[in-house]
Amino acid sequence: MAALSDKLADAYQNARPTYPIDWFTKLAARTGQHKLAWDVGTGNGQAAIGLAEYFEKVVATDINEAQLKRAVKHERISYNLTPTTMSEDQMVALVGGDNSVDLIVAAQAVHYFDLAPFYNVAKRVLRKEGGLIAVWVYNGLVISPEVDSIMKRLEDSTSPFRTPVMNLAFDGYKTLPFPFESIGMGSEGKPIMLDIPHKLSLKGFIGFLRSWQPAVKAKERGVELVTQDLINKFEEAWGDDDNDVKDIFYKAHMIVGKLSASDIERHRKRFETNCVVAKLKDSNNSVVIASVTAVAFAGLAAYCAYSARKNT
């Protein structure tokens, strides 16, 4: 995602919708535990706030410092800047370790990621029993026939400036690789469609357009798509009262998955190669000690201890 200036970051925060709480209710109901959630690409924390209602701890990460500075504070949320120079092991350790996360959420974000390394990290940190990953995107909004027709022409004009990953969003994640097993809430190539209700003023709408990634990308290449002439057309289509707040909705697309049996088996074998189990006996009972011989992640250590007990 292109880094936003302070001004555009403010516009981004003001114009973006609040995700429906029932999304988080349904996702939390499907996870095995509620100890830790990871909101990756958190932006200003819109999804993290929803997760904090259901999980004991939320780790929220982003590469954009300007947005993190505006993130909504919450006692259960820790916000973390994650530069692209971080290694896989560093990211795993920051999030909570192998086999530690109950729910991963990437809201309006995963299409900007380098997918292969992200999915590697996700498969490592996701809890092998009961862990879920959910990704969603909203790729359009419905305001009124007059405004929507102008918006459609603007969307078409962004085509030369859209990157392949931005087109993943425009396609509603229908072409997004998603190497996880479906739980009945969308699947690779078949996201479920949802609506996000929102209230938006003309000022908020113009702020949305100016912080909209295709428009930002075009401006970086010297082309201003959100011109004053275009703004005048939107103002005319909006109606007589510029302060009128309209009930609108964003069109959203979601996919939710879990680790496949083959992924779980592959990670089990990887973990076991890093576990050294010693069995000590005394006159009263057996004691099993498990130690981690590789990187000492808490999640990995817990797995080793569990494996040791199981094999006793």
Domain residues of the chain, as ranges? 264-310
What angle in degrees, to the nearest 10, is found between the helix axes of 202-211 and 6-15? 130
Instruction: Note the pLDDT of residue 10.
Output: 54
pLDDT at residue 304 in the model = 52
pLDDT in tens, the chain (312 residues): 444 445 555 555 556 788 999 999 999 999 999 999 999 999 989 999 999 999 999 999 999 998 899 899 999 999 999 999 999 999 999 999 999 999 999 999 999 999 999 999 999 999 999 999 999 999 889 999 999 999 999 999 999 999 888 899 999 999 999 999 999 999 999 999 999 999 888 988 998 888 888 999 999 999 999 999 999 999 999 986 667 789 999 999 999 999 999 999 887 777 666 554 433 334 444 443 343 333 334 455 555 544 544 444
- Are 37 and 105 in contact by the 8 Å Cβ rule? The answer is yes
3-state secondary structure of 39: strand
The identity of residue 139, as a single letter, is N
Cβ partners under 8 Å of residue 137, min gap 6: 108, 110, 111, 168, 169, 172, 173, 252, 253
Strand partners, 187: 190
Cα 126 to Cα 144: distance, rounded to the nearest angstrom:
41
Name which of 158, 172, 162, 49 is nearest 108 in CA terms.
172
3-state secondary structure of 5: coil
Q: What is the pLDDT of residue 203?
A: 87
CA distance linking residue 290 with residue 298, whole number of Å: 12
Task: Write the CB contacts of 8 (distance below 8 Å, at least 6 apart in sequence).
Answer: 210, 211, 216
* CA–CA dist 275, 305 (Å, integer): 9
Residue written as token pair 């192998």: 98
| Calpha distance 183→248 (Å, rounded) | 30
pLDDT of residue 194: 97
Which two tokens mark 84? 């692209």
The CA radius of gyration of the chain, in Å to the nearest whole number, is 22
Q: Note the pLDDT of residue 15.
A: 60
CA distance 302 to 207: 47
- What are the phi and psi torsion angles at 268 (to 5°)? -60, -45
pLDDT at 212: 86
